[in-house]
Amino acid sequence: MVMVWALSGLELKAQPPVPSSAPTAPSALKVLHLTFQAAETGFDPAKVSDYYSAVVISGIFDPLLTYDYLARPAHLIPNVSEALPTISADGKTYTLKIKQGIVFGQDPAFAGRARPLRAQDYLYSIKRFVDPKNRSPYAFLFLGKIVGLDALVSKAQKTGQFDYDAAVEGLQAPDPFTLSIKLTETDFNFSHVLAFPLVGAVAREVIERYGADSSAHPVGTGPYRLRQYLRSSKISLEKNPLFRTLRWEALPSTDIPDEAIRKSMQGKLLPAIDRIEISIMDEAQSRWLAFLRAETDMEYQLEELAPKFLTPTGELKSPFREQGIQLDRSVDPEISYLFFNTAETIGNQPNPIGGFTLPKIALRRAIAMAYDVQDQIAVIRKGQSVRAFYPIPPGVAGHQSQYRSSLSYNPALANALLDHFGYRRGADGYRSHPDGSALILEYASTPVERDRQFDELMKRSMDRIGLRLSIRKQRFSELLKLSSQCRLMMKQAAWIADYPDGDNFMQLLYGPHTGQSNAACYRSASFDRLYEQSRRLPDGAQRDLLYLQMTRQMEADTAWLLTDSRYRNVLLQPYVVGFKKHPVLTNEWIHMDIDRTRMKKAPAS
């Protein structure tokens, strides 16, 4: 089903700026209370990388494109553009037209005037991602991809000043409402970048006015604006009074839950909820207790407490069901995997599990076969994940739900394999290299309680096949550094979709991405060749076949053991309506409402 966005923009021009205080009495306000389990870092789209900041940003800023709220797999639709981009036949030029009459939210930077959204604002926003001063973690979305942009970046690195006024061949605005982007290479997936929640339009006046403090002054064209902000503690959003008119509209569906959502939401002016109150609560115990006491309306980070409210089959337990609490359960577009460093050396030391000789592959294969993924799912995840076999998770273009990996749990076979290749057990029960030298696997993780569980599982699994394991504990930042230098031997990793396309996952194993995202430092000529072919293809059966071969090649070389993809269990209070977890969008509350009639008592505000 397709959702149709309605807009009557011409009215807005005449509208005077609305005073910031909402006309409705506070008690009549619809307020949604949520929690984050970790602190945000700020709300400047070009400066953040963390999930929680992005959630807030996606409520305030508008990207050019977005995804349909109900459609699965995720389906691109226009947002502030009039239609999906026109893509040239060579897949190198993208042209879009922006709807007219959209204005930015109020800010002193606009000196009391309505500030219309123009194509230039998007060009400016894109340039901000590559400005070295901003150190944007998402610079890779544009770097090396847009004609003429990299030259400007290197100039900025020399002069220390990014020239935003310089013309860039690849970023053009032929008229104030038309946008033309020229890519250096064929890329049929670039639309996803334009739908990326952080690639929303910022106003240059605002950014220049607040300078270094831009993180605390987000001003966008989106449905919400920042009302109150207590860093890393409380974030309060309220309806943007200057937001364009937008109605909830979707076609009838055969899917029963979807139809229920459609019934309750159809035709409503968006956003329907007046305020979003976000508290940051670090500890699961606090979040769970707060939800039970209806201090929060929605809770989606309770993985470790899932057995508290879920039956083993994944349904809500009856006491909660009777209270009317709702559960939305879906699989995240995410994979967890155990990677093996396949490089010959680590630093200047030989890597005991690296290289592509048979004994080395056999060693990695044995480790992969001995690691007990079932226990990871049952004990660590508390049943809240599904086994992952394919590098592309559900909900992402290119996913193969029927695929079964050739790496399966079989410690007996793993033992036999090791015996076969001469990894003999010593007196203490631990194996050594075929040449008799000591064999110690080094597994890296961060010093948090969660990782300790993985450590324990890893240790149990390796003990089962007689491999000695040492665990390297390091802070997350340190591990990131080591991993990008190929100096980690084994580590658990996870990747969540930046955009719902298989390429976002397959690039993790591409040889030239070693030192960037390819933590296994996996360099396979055949894989790389297949990947390069896939890059030139749009989503489709042809590309899926390449992905399949790449996956099997990775398994044959045993660079990764895919483990699982987590369920996302979202608990909602009875009065929250219209929620459906979206694989990519994080701002479902734009499309939701609060049904006061179902409210037993007012939640504590």
Find the binding residues for other proteins in span 476-505 (CB under 8 A): 476-478, 480-481, 484, 495, 498
* From 169-177, 185-193, 377-385, 578-586, span contacting other proteins (CB under 8 A): 377-385
* Segment (H or E) for 56: helix 51-60
Count of CB atoms situated within 10 Å of the CB of 387: 15
Instruction: Give the burial string for 61-89 (b: 16+ CB within 10 Å, else e).
Output: bbbbbbbbbbbbbbbbbbbbbeebbebee
Q: Is 361 a residue that touches other proteins (CB under 8 A)?
A: yes
Q: Is 408 a residue that touches other proteins (CB under 8 A)?
A: yes
Q: Shortest gap between Cβ of 191 and other proteins (angstroms)?
A: 19
Task: Give the total of residues touching other proteins (CB under 8 A).
Answer: 108
Q: Tell me whether residue 582 is exposed, middle or buried, using C-beta atoms within 10 angstroms of its C-beta: 0 to 12, 13 to 18, 19 or more.
A: buried
* Residue linked to tokens 């929690």: 35
* Residue linked to tokens 């998402």: 138
Among 157, 161, 437, 542, binds other proteins (CB under 8 A): 157
SS3 content of the chain, % helix, strand, coil (to 5): 35, 20, 45
Among 118, 239, 365, 568, binds other proteins (CB under 8 A): 365
d(Cα 223, Cα 279) in Å, to the nearest integer?
20
Among 135, 536, 596, 600, binds other proteins (CB under 8 A): 135
58, two tokens: 């996606």
210, two tokens: 């607040």
* Residue linked to tokens 């007990």: 372
Q: Is 409 a residue that touches other proteins (CB under 8 A)?
A: yes
Which of the residues 429 through 458 are near other proteins (CB under 8 A)? 446-449, 452-453, 455-456
Among 100, 410, 432, 533, binds other proteins (CB under 8 A): 410
Q: Which residues pair with 3 in a beta bridge?
A: 250
* From 62-70, 93-101, 274-282, 591-599, span contacting other proteins (CB under 8 A): 274-282
Q: DSSP labels for 133-163?
A: GG--TTGGGTTTTBTTHHHHHHHHHHHS---
Q: Is 245 a residue that touches other proteins (CB under 8 A)?
A: no
Q: Is 162 a residue that touches other proteins (CB under 8 A)?
A: no
- Torsion over CA of 291, 295, 297 and 303, rounded to 10 degrees? -20
576, two tokens: 């929250």
* From 17-25, 97-105, 285-293, 560-568, span contacting other proteins (CB under 8 A): 285-293
Which of the residues 549 through 568 are near other proteins (CB under 8 A)? 549, 551-553, 555-556
129, two tokens: 């991602």
Pick 16 or 312: Cβ nearer other proteins: 312
Among 13, 263, 321, 420, binds other proteins (CB under 8 A): 420
* From 64-72, 306-314, 532-540, 588-596, span contacting other proteins (CB under 8 A): 306-314
Alpha-helical (H) ranges within 268-425 are 284-292, 306-309, 318-322, 358-370, 373-375, 411-420
Which of the residues 95 through 114 are near other proteins (CB under 8 A)? none
Q: Is 596 a residue that touches other proteins (CB under 8 A)?
A: no
Q: Shortest gap between Cβ of 423 and other proteins (angstroms)?
A: 13
Which of the residues 170 through 229 are near other proteins (CB under 8 A)? 212-216, 228
Pick 5 or 409: Cβ nearer other proteins: 409
Among 58, 125, 180, 405, binds other proteins (CB under 8 A): 405
Pick 31 or 548: Cβ nearer other proteins: 548
Q: Is 374 a residue that touches other proteins (CB under 8 A)?
A: yes
Pick 107 or 555: Cβ nearer other proteins: 555
d(Cα 500, Cα 192) in Å, to the nearest integer?
8
